[in-house]
Amino acid sequence: MEELLEQLLEECRSYTQNGHLASYIPELAKADPNDFGVYILNSDGKHACAGDFGKCFTIQSIIKPILLLLALMDNGVDAVRSRVGVEATGKPFDAINVTDQSLLSDHINPMVNMGAIALCNLVKGNDYNEKFNRLLSLTRTLACNPKIDINESVYHSEKQTGNKNRALAYMLKSYGMITDEVEDVLDLYFKACSISVNSKDLAYIGFALSNRGKIADGYKRIFSYDYAHYVNAILMTCGMYDGSGDFAINVGVPAKSGVGGGIMAIVPTRMGIGIYSPGLDDKGNSVAGIKLLERLSNALFLSIF
Ligand code: GLN
What is the 8-class DSSP label of residue 102? P
Cβ pair 89, 64 in contact under 8 A = no
CATH number, residue 134: 3.40.710.10
Tell me the residue type at 129.
Answer: N
Per-residue pLDDT band at 92 (split at 50, 70, 90): low
Alpha helices for 162-286 (secondary structure H): 163-174, 182-193, 199-210, 225-238, 244-250
Domain end (from 193, 212, 232):
193
268 and 248 in a common domain: yes
Query: Does the annotation count 204 as an active-site position?
Result: no
Q: Determine the pLDDT at residue 136.
A: 98
Domain end (from 133, 163, 193):
193
- Domain that residue 93 falls in: 63-193
Q: Determine the pLDDT at residue 284.
A: 94
CA neighbor of 148 nearest in space, from 192, 188, 201, 191 = 201
Q: Is the pLDDT of residue 89 over 90?
A: no
Q: What is the pLDDT of residues 146-174, one digit of tens each?
A: 999 999 999 999 999 999 999 999 999 99
Q: How far apart (Å, rounded) are the C-alpha atoms in residues 18 and 80?
A: 38
Q: What are phi and psi of 286, to 5 degrees?
A: -65, 120
108 and 88 in a common domain: yes
Query: Does the annotation count 241 as an active-site position?
Result: yes
Using a 10 angstrom Cβ sphere, with 0-12 exposed, 13-18 middle and 19 or more buried, the burial of residue 269 is exposed
What are the beta bridge partners of residue 38? 50, 275
Q: Is the pLDDT of residue 96 over 80?
A: no
Report the residue among 158, 160, 193 best suited for mutation to probe ligand 1: largest number of ligand atoms under 8 A from its CB: 193
Quote the mean pLDDT of the chain: 95
User: Whose Cα sits closest to atom 2 in ligand 1?
Assistant: 60
3-state secondary structure of 182: helix
Q: What are phi and psi of 212, to 5 degrees?
A: 55, 45
Q: Is the pLDDT of residue 197 over 70?
A: yes
**Stretch (H or E) spanning 205:** helix 199-210
Query: Does the annotation count 77 as an active-site position?
Result: no
Out of 128, 241, 256, 267, which one is annotated catalytic? 241
